[in-house]
Amino acid sequence: MPISLEQARAAKASAKAALAALPGLVGVGITKVGEDYALKVNLREPLPAGVSAPERIGDVPVLVEVVGRITKRG
């Protein structure tokens, strides 16, 4: 059974504090991977050696992407 949007939203809410501790975190969102909804963790730079993001929060997969610095497009 695919992971639903509601499951992903619940996982996001419960993992907020744990994910906020990741160095260089710029955003946490929800994305789709195939049929499943997943958490998307955006980082400014790759995680340092020895630090890793969780692969799943409960049943919900976690996708990590290095997106660099986010600035306003002014």
Chain residues that interact with other proteins, rule: CB under 8 A? 27, 29-31, 40, 42, 65-74
Shortest CB 65 distance to other proteins, Å: 5
Edge to edge, the sheet with strand 36-43 lists: 25-33, 36-43, 60-66, 56-57
> In the complex with other proteins, which residue's Cβ is closer, 34 or 74?
74
If the CB atoms of residues 1 and 47 are measured against other proteins, the closer one turns out to be 47
Q: Residue 63's beta-bridge partner residues?
A: 40
- Find the farthest-apart pair of alpha carbons in the chain and give their distance in angstroms, rounded: 43
**Minimum Å distance from CB 25 to other proteins?**
14
